Amino acid sequence: MSGGGAPKLEIDASGLQIAVLATTWHANITDGLLAGAERALKAAGNSEYEVWRVPGAFELPLAAKYAIEAGADVVIALGVVIRGDTPHFDYVCNAATDGLTRVQLDSGVPIGFGLLTVDTEQQALDRAGLPGSKEDKGAEAVEAAVLMARLKS
């Protein structure tokens, strides 16, 4: 698994206005990512974050822009896209990734990338921070984005 060497980052999220964006597709997986992000935020001293539900991964960049316009210091983008039989997967993954990158660079506001782009549902379950998961990508997205926010200040 690629995340086997991931560092455990010590972060301080206190005092930051944080928006957590979570897609609605594959709710069991996305809810696991959200739970991991929430655990990480609370452990880092922030229980004042806002959760924004968005339809799908394609909508994450615009939702991130809206959250930043509403005052977010940090945005966490969570969701999952599972490969199917059509090129739709490639279009959605590329649009979401490129859009989140653009919003982050244009605004200077860190965005934690917790969008799983996987071939199978099992791969997503392994990364979702659920009981039995090997990784917790929701928590990792929080750690990376908060660390970047602290680098700026």
Question: Is residue 1, in this structure, part of any structural domain at all?
Answer: no
Question: 129-136 — which CB contacts under 8 Å span 24+ positions?
Answer: 129/32, 129/33, 129/35, 129/36, 129/39, 130/28, 130/29, 130/32, 130/35, 133/32, 134/1, 134/3, 135/1, 135/3, 135/6, 136/36, 136/40
E strands in the chain: 18-23, 50-54, 74-82, 111-118
Instruction: Tell me which residue range forms the domain holding 81.
Output: 16-152
Question: Is residue 6, in this structure, part of any structural domain at all?
Answer: no
Q: What integer pLDDT is reported at residue 85 of this predicted model?
A: 84
Q: Tell me: the pLDDT tens digits for 100-124?
A: 999 999 999 999 999 999 999 999 9
Question: Is residue 7, in this structure, part of any structural domain at all?
Answer: no
Q: Tell me: the pLDDT tens digits for 70-85?
A: 999 999 999 999 998 8
The number of distinct structural domains making up the chain is: 1
Q: Which CATH number covers residue 132?
A: 3.40.50.960
Q: Which residues are catalytic?
A: 88
